[in-house]
Structures are given as C-alpha cells and as structure tokens.
Amino acid sequence: MIRILIVEDELPIAELLNMSLCGEGYQCTCAYDGQEAADILEDETFDLVLLDIMLPKIDGYELLEYIHFCQIPVIFLTAKTDVADRVKGLKAGAEDYISKPFEIAELLARVEAVMRRFNKGTKTLAFADVVVDAESRLVRKSGKAVSLTAKEFDLLLYFVQNKNKALSRSQIYAQVWNSGCLGDSRTVDLHVQRLRKKLSLEESLVSVYKIGYRLEVSD
C-alpha cells in the first residue's frame, strides 16, 4: 500500500486530505508542523509527502532538504500563488506544486501522476526475470507462477517499490506487518530467507550490515 505523509498545520485541510486519500486506498499519516514531520520521517518510510510551505517550527523549504535525503518525492501544497514562489518550490526539488484552494480531484490526479513517475502507482512491477502484479497479487519468475504467502507477497512488493534502498528491519516490520514496534526481528529474517529461496534472490536481496536488507536491481 502506498504511504503518504501529509504535513499541514491547518487541521481542517489535513483532515480533508487524509479522508480523501484514504478513500482512494492510500495509507496516510498527518503531521502538523515541520518538526513533527521530521521526527516521523526519522522512524517511518513513505512513498510521497504532501508538504505545506508555511509551517510552524520548520518551514517547508527547510524540511524539503531533509526529505530529499530520504529520497521521497514531494508535492508542495501552499497558499503562495506567485510564479516566483512556484518556481522556487520546483527548483528546490518538489515534484509538483499545487496552490490553495484546490479541487480534491486535481490533487488525486497529481498524486497518481507522481506515483507513476516513481513506479509506485503501477499495478505491475518487474525486475530481472520477476514480475509482480500488485492487483492480482500474482508473482511470476521466468514466466512461471510462484506461490507466496500473503506476507511474503507484501514483503516482496515493499522491496520492489523501494529497490536499491537500504531498509531497516524496523522499517520493514512497520510497513509489512502494519506495526509501529519491531517485535521479533527473526520474523523479518525468516520471511526474507523464504523469498530468497522461492525466487532465487540470494544475489540480489542482500543483507546490509547492522541495518537490514536491500533489493539490488540494475536499471
């Protein structure tokens, strides 16, 4: 499931965004100032950030620098409508810039477009000789179907959506098992071992020392 961090200090707007995006199948978390957003990003992984510019404590431009370090795409949501502000936001690295007030339908279309650019919104993902169909939850290797449990599939999909990124065990557990606590790290290790065996990923699903795992995929 695609995870979106909404960083917006106006509670009614944050709640509207949360409700609308969750209604489209996204999983959302809200932060109401820049510092809270930075703290959340320290512990959790997201596929997209919707970011207001005028925020308490840490403004959107400053926070964008940190988000870039996390390699997460950003859409600016702001009341600043001048062309100079729009250009500044895009030059700072935002993928898109939406001025308030905006129509929810337009926002959803912009989110979908950014997710497609980052291979997050596509229903079929592939690497090497493995094809993952997120809609039918089917996996094929060299054209042959591979049987995975529900959690094995969720784990594989998470790795493919975050290919070439080092993912900690806590990140993996939080996303795949939908839990904020790590629990037993052996659960993650066991499922990774099963994926390696079933899909022959010993060379590409590698261990990252003292961190977790990374799916190495050549572009």
What pLDDT, on a 0 to 100 scale, did the predictor assign at position 101? 85
Question: Which pLDDT does position 89 carry in this prediction?
Answer: 67
Cα-Cα-Cα-Cα dihedral sign, residues 12, 14, 15, 16: positive
56 upstream amide cis, omega within 30 of 0:
no
Alpha helices by DSSP H, listed for 44-128, are 60-69, 83-91, 104-117
Instruction: Say yes or no: domain 124-215 is CATH 1.10.10.10.
Output: yes
Please give the average pLDDT of every successive group of 10 residues along the chain, which has 219 residues: 89 92 85 94 89 90 84 85 69 82 88 79 76 85 92 92 88 78 76 96 93 88
In this prediction the pTM is 0.58
Residue-range domain boundaries for the chain: 3-117, 124-215
The answer regarding whether domain 3-117 maps to CATH 3.40.50.2300 reads yes
**Facing residues of 206 across strands?**
214
Contact in structure between 27 and 4 (CB atoms under 8 Å):
yes
